[in-house]
Amino acid sequence: MADIKIFAAETPPEMAGEPDDIRQAIELLFFAYRDFTSDPDLILLRSGYGRAHHRILHFVGAYPGINVAQLLRILRITKQSLGRVLKQLLKQGFVEQRPGKRDRRQRLLFLTEKGRKFEAQLSTPQQKRVQQAFTAAGPDAVAGYLKVLEHLIDETERKFIIDAIKRG
């Protein structure tokens, strides 16, 4: 286990096509994201929920009063996909709906106390992981990290997303 090598023993030394630093960066993001999501995933698995539940809990928790259309745009899923999971969260009493005051067609979403607790439970290990990485890498690295991430977002969505994240 400790001495497994990823290097293919019979790999020819000549090595293919794409600029290697970009390939490395792509793989690094893959691995980092894999582990980044692993913390809540583990808890979710034991609780009988999935990653989709966490995403909803996170965004409803971070943006109380968010409506369904906004949530759909953020998650980039269909309302049917959202509906299935959201319905469970409502039934389980993690999320509650209130009609919008300006537009009574809208269902504004809020976490209940129970939802807040569960969300915190899911997010805490993930936050700790990020905090630890930030501390280890140092503030300059963090600034660079955030800058690159912003530029990975679709140019057409970038401003919208960044403004949204920084609200509050």
Which residues, numbered 127-166, are part of the site for a second copy (CB under 8 A)? 127, 129-134, 136-138, 140-154, 157, 160-166
Q: DSSP labels for 5-18?
A: --S-TT--S---SS
152/144 Cα distance (integer angstroms): 13
66 near a second copy, rule: CB under 8 A? yes
Residue 49 partner contact from DNA, a second copy, none using kind-dependent CB cut-offs of 5 to 8 Å: DNA
118 near a second copy, rule: CB under 8 A? no
Nearer to a second copy, 105 or 140 (CB): 140
45 near a second copy, rule: CB under 8 A? no
49 near a second copy, rule: CB under 8 A? no
CB of 112 to a second copy, least distance (A): 13
Residue 144 partner contact from a second copy, DNA, none using kind-dependent CB cut-offs of 5 to 8 Å: a second copy
Those residues whose C-beta lies under 8 Å from the C-beta of residue 56, and which sit 6 or more positions away, are 71, 75, 82, 85, 86, 89, 95
Q: Residue 132 — φ and ψ, nearest 5°?
A: -65, -40
Candidates 13, 78, 104, 113; binder of a second copy (CB under 8 A) is 13
The token duo for 32 is 């980092």
120/99 Cα distance (integer angstroms): 25
